[in-house]
């Protein structure tokens, strides 16, 4: 079977952007995606509004048209789906890549499994890993974190109406969730280790959150951390003192991280921690020749270092480098 020019693992915005950039250089890339197009965005809170303007989310030369200054999750799903259709991108959906191996000839063998269990092998001259990070939440490592009423994801507030909820975290996701839950009548306590919530909170959201905290409608425990979770309560440590806070649900909104083990299995130097995987920032090529990174998978521990705004340009660097090799 003839080898593909390029296989892209992941059909998120950065993977789609890389595919379009490669098309513009004369390649016909194949995308393999374990779910569907921009799956991570589909997992965002239903009512989420992007921090970025539409122009900063655009890829493939396709305008992102919306009457709003900040696009919604639904608008983003429609936009990226439209891009994949207009570009007629080749995407194998619901197929999980399990391994990438480089052969003595210099080609790559990409092993994958379809949803029905069929195992496949596809050869490629180059591979781009654009897998994102949303499947791997940052775990806290405390007793009770795996209890059934604890989650690292927030979709919508309705299931929490009239309940007691402890939110661990102080980022945009934590603040947005707290606001939505308060609106449906949940009793919300936000526990955060910092001296204040994140400085990156959306500027139009911060005063709303602070107003509800000042009115006592949301409890905010700063310089505090949850040290244990039990079925109907948590232990909150603040300095040398601790207290028990009753709750029905716990949302540990502590962020996400790329899967470093997946990269290491391919031969990429990718230690756990803050150090980014080894790659050339000018070409995005890793220490494995012909294997590239695009998007958040190229960062260190903080996934916020690279988002769609900057990760969408990685494909341009990769396409230029591959074109120069031909």
What's the pLDDT at 306?
44
User: Whole-structure pTM over 0.85, yes or no?
Assistant: yes
Q: Nearest CA to 299 among 311, 316, 282, 287? A: 311
Q: What pLDDT is attached to residue 301?
A: 56
pLDDT of 210: 96
The predicted structure's pLDDT at residue 108: 97
The vertex-254 CA angle with 296 and 244, nearest 5°, equals 175
Which domains, and CATH codes, for the chain? Answer: 4-135+256-325 (3.50.50.60), 150-252 (3.50.50.60)
Q: What pLDDT digit, counting tens, does each position of 13-65 carry?
A: 999 999 999 999 999 999 999 999 999 999 889 998 888 889 989 999 999 99
Alpha-carbon dihedral 238, 244, 245, 246, rounded to 10 degrees: 170
Listed as ranges, residues in the chain with pLDDT below 50 are 304-306
- Scanning the structure block, which residue is given the tokens 């009115």? 215
Q: What is the pLDDT of residue 305?
A: 40
* CA atoms of 210 and 195, how far apart (whole Å): 14
């Amino acid at each position: 079977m003839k080898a593909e020019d390029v296989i892209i693992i992941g059909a998120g915005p950065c993977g789609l952007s890389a595919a379009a950039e490669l098309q513009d250089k004369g390649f016909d890339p194949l995308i393999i995606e374990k779910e569907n197009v921009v799956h991570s965005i589909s997992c965002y809170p239903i009512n989420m509004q992007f921090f970025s303007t539409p122009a900063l989310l655009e890829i493939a030369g396709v305008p992102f048209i919306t009457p709003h200054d900040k696009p919604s999750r639904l608008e983003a799903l429609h936009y990226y789906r439209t891009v994949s259709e207009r570009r007629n991108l080749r995407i194998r959906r619901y197929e999980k890549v399990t391994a990438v191996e480089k052969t003595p000839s210099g080609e790559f063998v990409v092993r994958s499994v379809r949803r029905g269990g069929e195992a496949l092998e596809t050869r490629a001259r180059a591979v781009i890993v654009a897998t994102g990070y949303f499947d791997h939440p940052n775990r806290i490592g405390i007793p009770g974190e795996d209890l059934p009423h604890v989650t690292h994801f927030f979709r919508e507030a309705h299931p929490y109406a009239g309940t007691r909820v402890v939110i661990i975290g102080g980022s945009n996701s934590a603040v947005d969730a707290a606001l939505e839950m308060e609106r449906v009548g949940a009793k919300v306590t936000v526990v955060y280790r910092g001296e204040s919530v994140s400085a990156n909170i959306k500027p139009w959201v911060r005063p709303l959150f602070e107003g509800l905290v000042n009115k006592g409608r949301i409890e905010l425990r700063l310089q505090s951390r949850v040290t244990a979770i039990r079925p109907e309560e948590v232990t909150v440590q603040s300095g040398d003192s601790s207290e028990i806070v009753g709750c029905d649900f716990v949302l540990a909104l502590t962020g996400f991280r790329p899967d470093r083990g997946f990269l290491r299995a391919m031969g990429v130097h990718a230690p756990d921690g803050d150090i980014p995987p080894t790659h050339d920032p000018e070409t995005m090529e890793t220490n494995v020749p012909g294997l590239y990174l695009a998007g958040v998978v190229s960062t260190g521990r903080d996934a916020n270092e690279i988002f769609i705004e900057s990760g969408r340009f990685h494909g341009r660097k990769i396409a230029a480098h591959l074109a120069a090799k031909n």
